[in-house]
Structure 1
């Protein structure tokens, strides 16, 4: 029987993920440990694959570059010198990557500044017939797919120590069922903390079904995930009704009905 397929597209690219990881390290780009960065990058790619998210080829190219850099760093010092001498005619891949990150960060910062400027102009621009609406306060920064993956990975680690089998018998959780559960929760509450969705989860499959349901609701613009502070708690709230996309949620078998590679997320 076919599983429920969440059509969540990752719009962020590999440089976005690298900048996200650098910010988490709280170090200057020029001082980042590329060996550790490579390990973390691969972990995020594996997470995306295990949740059946589309991983663009650019991520795989970047992963190969990072693994090459990592392999060089792990060589004995004398071998590192020889490799660098062999590559002296070309640019050191480490510095090439750092340069790309610096340039991309400049681009991202400039784009953010333009967005903020546009928002300021919208607030002061005089309209002939101003809209009647209540001010909902300042707009909070939205959580990225990498923020969401990092948060759910921390929750999945709870089950890693239990050595659960890849196939879980009699696990009734489905993505469509969890979609309705989340909708019900947000009808009764204006805001939820991300971790609250998983507080009572009893299996990895339940965590996976809940997370996929959340991604689907975000894709359908029925839920907004915000992060008031950098790398802080992710908060969930219902999106305005006019922003939502129409969708039909098909039936699908329980998350534990048959082998599922999603159950191996770590």
Structure 2
């Protein structure tokens, strides 16, 4: 008698790790590395048995987990040495938190996009690039998320009633607006793109346009110290002839 075995499919190794942490009710800042390493490797072995293709990222993270586990098993010379030595899990924890924050931001933007589709009958646009947070080189995901939420809150408090023009704000048009601004100056604040009483749809459309241009390596994003705005910096070379 044949037995059907199903295996949950994950978008990447960090999503798998976060799921293991959640299922085992672990503290993300104090991961029981023995538990997650064993279960992570079991998943890879099971996927191999079922002929599921995993990206090389899974193997990289697997080797990282094994390395961390080995370091944590090494005997410490003294209590002072333990206090001075950096936790080998620190870098992994930072990457997990950054990934989790970016996924939350991506989900927020997808929800807004679905709302706009229902409200304004817009054509669906491709937001698959939101799954790859490596495109953000000039600012951390955590800081970018906080700043974006601060901007939304600030404009929602100052917004007054005014007419909404159908399809006025979409990513393509917003990218055109950014191109125009970059021809005027090579560095400017994100809020300089927005009207005085910007609607939520306008802010999010321009933000998505920035992410798309980051993906295409046309701009970089930099953070101001107060978390109230985002610097947009051009990476393009203009032909002024």
Q: TM-score, normalised by structure 1?
A: 0.38
Q: TM-score, normalised by structure 2?
A: 0.41
